[in-house]
């Protein structure tokens, strides 16, 4: 039976995944993300019930995102946000705090504040990673409740920064993965 070589990159990733090499060849989300810079997401953007509100329920999320507000580094808050905050009806925040760089990728629960309950509709998971340079990236998913949106907060970010250098792939791991493809 002939091998299907129409998608060699996918086959390499699949083979490396099978052999536990996924960490060494997949792009680091700290250097491969989409910038999300929406001023309306700010935690201090409070609206009344009668004003138009934003929603993330129609957004198709793909990959990792890094938050900014007006070009300033931001993060999803890890404390409950006031209803109608962040330019939406149901502001979304993460429960469980943010990870440290050494924690790698972690899963956190997203909650939405409504009707005086900080997690009124229950929670759902997203992935979060702390990055060198004092910022976070998030693998966001479509919120489970209409008229909800992810919040962004600049106030809780440490203003100090470090130099960020791009990640590189180890040629040994790539060679190993390529040899797996040939097997």
| DSSP symbols for 17-82 | HHTT-HHHHSPPTTTS-EEEE-GGGBTT----TTS----STT----S-EEEEETTEE-B--SS---
> Packing angle between helix 8-18 and helix 171-182, nearest 10 degrees?
100
In this structure, are residues 62 and 33 in contact, taking their beta carbons and an 8 Å threshold?
no
DSSP 102: G
Rounded to whole angstroms, the Cα distance separating 138 from 17 reads 22
Q: pLDDT by residue (tens digit) across 108-123?
A: 999 999 999 999 999 9
Helix (H, G, I), strand (E, B) or coil at 180: helix
The whole-model pTM stands at 0.73
Higher pLDDT, 22 or 131: 131
With a CB cutoff of 8 Å and minimum separation 6, the contacts of 158 are 134
Mean pLDDT of 73-99: 96
Higher pLDDT, 13 or 155: 155
Rounded to whole angstroms, the Cα distance separating 75 from 79 reads 11
């Amino acid at each position: 039976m002939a091998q299907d070589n129409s998608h060699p990159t996918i086959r390499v990733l699949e083979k490396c995944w099978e052999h536990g090499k996924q960490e060494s060849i997949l792009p680091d989300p700290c250097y491969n993300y989409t910038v999300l810079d929406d001023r309306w997401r700010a935690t201090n953007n409070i609206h009344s019930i009668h004003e138009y509100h934003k929603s993330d329920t129609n957004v198709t999320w793909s990959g990792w995102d890094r938050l900014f507000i007006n070009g300033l580094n931001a993060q999803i808050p890890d404390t409950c946000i006031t209803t109608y905050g962040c330019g939406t009806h149901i502001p979304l925040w993460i429960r469980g705090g943010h990870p440290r760089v050494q924690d790698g990728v972690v899963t956190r629960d997203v909650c939405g504040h409504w009707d005086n309950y900080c997690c009124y509709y229950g929670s759902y998971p997203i992935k979060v990673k702390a990055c060198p340079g004092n910022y976070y990236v998030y693998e966001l998913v479509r919120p489970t409740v209409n008229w909800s949106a992810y919040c962004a907060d600049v106030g809780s970010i440490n203003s100090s920064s470090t130099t960020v250098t791009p990640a590189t792939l180890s040629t040994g791991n790539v060679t190993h993965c390529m040899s797996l493809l040939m097997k």
